[in-house]
Amino acid sequence: SNQFFEDFRVRRSVVVSLIKRYARSSFYTVNFSHGGLPQKSPEEHILCFLWYATNKVCIKDVAIRFCISESTVHGIVEKLLDYLCSLLPRKICFPEDLDLLADDFEQLSGFPGVVGCIGGTCINTRSPAHVLKSSNQQSFASVRLQAVCDNKCRFMDVFVGPPGDLESESVFLASPLAEELPYWCPDKNHLLGDEGYPLREYLLTPYSSGQGSKDLAEQYELVFNERHEKTRAKIDNAFRLLRQRFKQLHFLEFVTASKMRRFIMACCVVHNMCVEAGDVELELEWTEANGDHVTVCNESDAEAEEKDERELGSLKRERLAKSFVT
């Protein structure tokens, strides 16, 4: 019903499927010797977690609404984080058929070889207990979620950087994806990222406004950037859907960085379940805070390799750009 969706921001069919899976899993155990109050059902576990995740409420509010103790809510959230994160390898992954994915992306704007769009979003948090506070311009601590999505806004790779508002390139280079991408992404295929990412053969970024002559820009650079922007917009839409569904992501109040990461990952898993079920009808409001960037210097002994990789990426980008106007 509409009221159910307004309350939990997830369609009932997705919730029913999630309840059934959770009930069959080893993460929900039936305690036959449970004393005192009756044990909470799988349905109560899922609804309790979703109410907390999709509404900007505190644990006490959830406890009052579901008539349970705050300690029980904490236990339910922990169990669901463990369960949802266990699904991550199956729910957040690249498809086996990258050629089919590239064909689907090409239908968006005629940009060939795209097997994903990469981007990042800043999530404000309380400062973790074991680190110094690293603030953005709103004076909040923060973590950055990096993700790669497909043409339907489904996440195929996610990585949560360390506390601190890091630049896109810094988070990318710290992620496992930076090392894995060159090996499994064929020469003809690539991700699309914005100007914050390093230009590579397997990661194409747009031309910056200062590159090339005016004539060249009119001939192919602008066309390249237009197609690039139209295609890469999928990752922006994915983040909008994620943040509009899970209101807790507007500001996380967990004490440890580990729990922050697990919660963000769990939200990404449920996001994919919703996308797979066609549950993507949310208002695309956008209120993401823009944070100051922390510059991380590259190692000097890697400068030569960095230059070569950027040159290869530049050559591939120019070859593609020229093909758009010939």
Annotate 153-192 with DSSP letters as a single string. S-EEEEEEPPSS-B-HHHHHHHSHHHHHHHHHS-TT-EEE
CB 191 within 8 A of CB 292: no
Residue 316 carries which side chain, given as an amino acid letter?
K
Residue spans of beta strands (DSSP E) within 132-289: 141-149, 155-160, 190-192, 203-204
Rg (C-alpha) for the chain, rounded Å, is 22
The domain ranges of the chain are 2-86, 93-323
Contacts 24+ apart (CB under 8 A), 296-303: 296/166, 296/167, 296/169, 296/170, 296/173
- DSSP-derived secondary structure letter, 28: S
pTM of the full structure: 0.86
CA distance 206 to 21: 42
pLDDT in tens, 192-202: 999 999 999 99
pLDDT for res 129:
54
Confidence at residue 32, expressed as pLDDT on a 0 to 100 scale = 53
Is the Cβ–Cβ distance between 232 and 105 less than 8 Å? no
pLDDT in tens, the chain (326 residues): 688 988 899 999 999 999 999 999 999 987 655 555 568 899 999 999 999 999 999 999 999 999 999 999 999 999 999 999 999 999 999 999 999 999 999 999 999 999 999 999 999 987 655 454 444 544 468 899 999 999 999 999 999 998 875 789 999 999 999 999 988 787 899 999 999 999 999 999 999 876 544 544 667 899 999 999 999 999 999 999 999 999 999 999 888 889 999 999 999 999 999 999 998 876 544 444 333 332 233 334 445 556 667 888 888 888 898 888 87
